[in-house]
Structure 1
Amino acid sequence: MTRTDDRARVGALGEQLAADFLIESGLRVLARNWRCRHGELDLIAADDTTRTVVFVEVKTRTGDGYGGPAQAVTPVKVRRLRRLAGLWLAQHGGGWAGVRIDVIAIRLGRREPEITHIQGVG
């Protein structure tokens, strides 16, 4: 198995854990890995109680070699996520009362995955 395969497997596991976390938190997952020619959104969820659509960037790490997962979401990355969110909204509409960009940081390698949900990053 190559390093790329390992990274893809870790990323897929992180996205599944993040989706499960959102569902357990009362959100409804609308899409996973939504792609367009400008990039990809990891997860798109709806908070039906507040009519808010939530665009979620998932960062999964197995160690601290590259800093914590949340540090990987730079201002440049946030701008790209905002652009992608705008494109998704233009295609899907939905009359949302609110829009939010969140990060779910997942650290693997411990007994239980450590999940941190950072709301409203951009």
Structure 2
Amino acid sequence: MNTIKIGQHGEQIAAAFLRSKNYKIHECNVRLGRDEIDIIAYDCTERCLVFVEVKTRTMYDPEFPPEMALNHHKKKKMKRAAWKWMYLHEYDAPWRMDAVLIIKSKVYRHIKYV
């Protein structure tokens, strides 16, 4: 499986996981110029829009766990994409950024408020 298919598979797993946690999936793979949002969902429990970054790995590497991919640069890009989307959709309500980490086709970790 190539990296694009691995990423798409991870996003499907993440979306199913979020649905099971009372989230409604709004959009997937949103392109905003050079920025991208993997999943936009609504957290029905906390009543807020959630911009989700999905990181998928085919195996666990203790020297480079998936959390390390959520560095300052990546968080800045996530925030820029979220702001673009909210501007384009005139969205002015509660929101947050999350990450869902997938390893070996399973949810490894869900990080709220990245």
**1:31 equivalent in alignment to 2:22:** no
Q: CA deviation at 1:49?
A: 3.8
**Structure 1 length as normaliser, TM-score?**
0.84
Question: Higher relative contact order by CA 8 Å / sep ≥ 6: 1 or 2?
Answer: 2
1:117 to 102, 110, 114: 110
Q: CA deviation at 1:116?
A: 0.8
5+ residue gaps in structure 1? none
Aligned positions, number:
113
Quote the sequence identity (%): 35
**Structure 2 length as normaliser, TM-score?**
0.90
Deviation string, structure 1 residues 35-87 (Cα, Å, up to 9, x no partner): 01131100000123433110000000012287111210111110111111000
Partner of 1:76: 73
Task: Give the SS at the match of 2:27.
Answer: strand
Query: d(CA) in 1 for partners of 2:45 and 2:14?
Result: 20
**1:19 equivalent in alignment to 2:12:** no
5+ residue gaps in structure 2? none
Map 1:43-122 → 2, pairs under 5 A = 43-63=39-59, 64=61, 67-96=64-93, 98-108=94-104, 113-121=106-114
Query: d(CA) in 1 for partners of 2:62 and 2:46?
Result: 38
Relative distance call for 1:32 and 1:114 in structure 2 (3 A) is closer
- Structure 1's consecutive aligned runs of 4 or more residues displaced over 4 angstroms after TM superposition are none
- Paired letter, 2:106: P
